[in-house]
Amino acid sequence: MNPVSKELALVIINPYPIRKSRTGGVIARYLVRTDLKLAGARMVGASPALVKEFADYLANYDPDDPGKCELFSNYVKKAYCADSNSGHTHRSMMLLFEGENAVEKIFRVTGDTNQQWLCGQTVRDTYGDLVRHPKTGAVEYFEPCVLVGRSPKYVKQMLDIWKKYLKTDSGIVHGAYAVGPEEEMQQTLVMLKPDNWRQPSLRAGNIMDLLSSSGMRIVGVKKLAMSIAQAEEFYGPVRGNLKKVFNIFGADRAAQALSREFGFPVESEQLKELCNYLAPLFAEREFENIVEFMTGRRPSSCLPQERVQPGTEECLVLVYEGPGAVTKIRDILGATDPLKARPGSIRREFGTNIMINAAHASDSVENARREMRILDVANDASFEALINKYYG
């Protein structure tokens, strides 16, 4: 028997479920109901040109079911255009799932438009709506939650349209949030760390659900494998903090260890000079551990050319926007040490220790800008390259 080859499947989360903060639940459903890898993610603010071309395609994409075509085409025209009153951009999210029989698996978990929509078995059962007139059967309300292709042919046709607008319509989507005259708009970066992606689980989706309680909007998303160079720059400020931390606890722990070993009391004050010597060594080792955790590679063991190559571990980067975004997101995230984080916070619920603590969030607006620059969240050449690999 020939082995089944990998496929690339597309899921477009519609603007309405994104506004209703259902994004995490949708992503979690696909991750745990399939064995597929979330290989790419982009936020899109669809332009009028994209909306028109995509709606025109949907109007005729399946000649055997013109009613369905009309339903989806009219939905896109209404749901994806910018708000006529406020002018706010409507955000959608493109997700690429990779694996064996990916297209069929995604379609099965999504659910068809012809289903009964009476239970929570599929994504559309749970997060979508289809309301018909009780007598005529005419559709009175339609929210499919996501748009997918039911075969590789349809996936390719959809991607052929959407990838033409990636450079102009995707990245950091602006104009998605209304603020009052007294409110300050902020953007902050959240990174879901590698421990969330090593096996299919609800973790990533549940974390996104918890973050949505902040009231902030997701305006950018990127799936990436961080390089050593990126990780060293991203976590560069931690080096100095690690030295300070060692000087705080190092003398006490060394004094306790020496007292046990030699059988007579050793005072921590006598070991401060030793700790000043050891602090840089401790900081360098811990920093290497952090970089290895985030990239899967140890800097001291890599060749120079390997430093700029994508690592073997993966993260999901999210940009949240809204008034007071930095403080609100960090409050939901919790203290760096999961054992000290409050019950119900993300790090308390999903973290293991100070390093393996589920997620990172910027601690200031300035650092958010620095981190977004390092990870180049606004751009993602690998996203289009992945599409071209399967459907180029």
Query: Catalytic amino acids?
Result: 360
Q: Which of 260, 358, 265, 256 is nearest to 315 (CA)?
A: 358
- Residue 386: which residues within 8 A CB-CB, separation 6 or more? 8, 39, 40, 96, 98
78 neighbors 72 (Cβ within 8 angstroms): no
382 neighbors 41 (Cβ within 8 angstroms): no
Amino acid 142 reads F
Q: For helices 48-58 and 66-79, what crossing angle results, to 10°?
A: 170
Residue keyed to tokens 């690998």: 382
Residue 105: phi and psi, rounded to 5, are -65, -45
210 neighbors 329 (Cβ within 8 angstroms): no
Q: DSSP 3-state assignment of 208?
A: helix
Residue 320: phi and psi, rounded to 5, are -105, 145
290 neighbors 231 (Cβ within 8 angstroms): yes
Q: State whether the Cα torsion 352-353-354-356 is positive or negative.
A: negative
Q: What is the DSSP string of 43-64?
A: EEE--HHHHHHHHHHHTTS-TT
The whole-angstrom separation of Cα 166 and Cα 42 is 9
Q: Where do the DSSP E strands lie in 18-119?
A: 37-45, 91-100
Amino acid 54 reads F
- C-alpha distances (whole Å) from 274 to each of 268, 282, 344 are 10, 12, 41
187 neighbors 319 (Cβ within 8 angstroms): yes
Q: State whether the Cα torsion 122-125-128-129 is positive or negative.
A: positive
